[in-house]
Amino acid sequence: MPTGTLQVIAVEGRHLKDRDLVGENDTYVEIYLDK
């Protein structure tokens, strides 16, 4: 598999569930890649 750089830009999040008891949600992005 060639090496390189993958650039991902998360533009918007919708219908996020409030998972934190205190403060705001910690944002994250899940990315799945196939070979």
Q: Is 5 helix (H, G, I), strand (E, B) or coil?
A: coil
How would you classify residue 5: left for phi > 0, otherwise alpha for psi between -120 and 50, otherwise beta? beta
Average pLDDT for the chain = 79
CA distance 29 to 10: 8
- In the chain, what are the domain boundaries? 1-35
CA distance 9 to 5: 13
Of 3-7, 9-13, 31-35, the range with the lowest mean pLDDT is: 31-35
**Does residue 18 have a pLDDT over 80?**
no
- Read off the pTM: 0.39
CA distance 11 to 35: 25
CA distance 12 to 10: 6
- Per-residue pLDDT band for 1 (boundaries 50, 70, 90) equals low
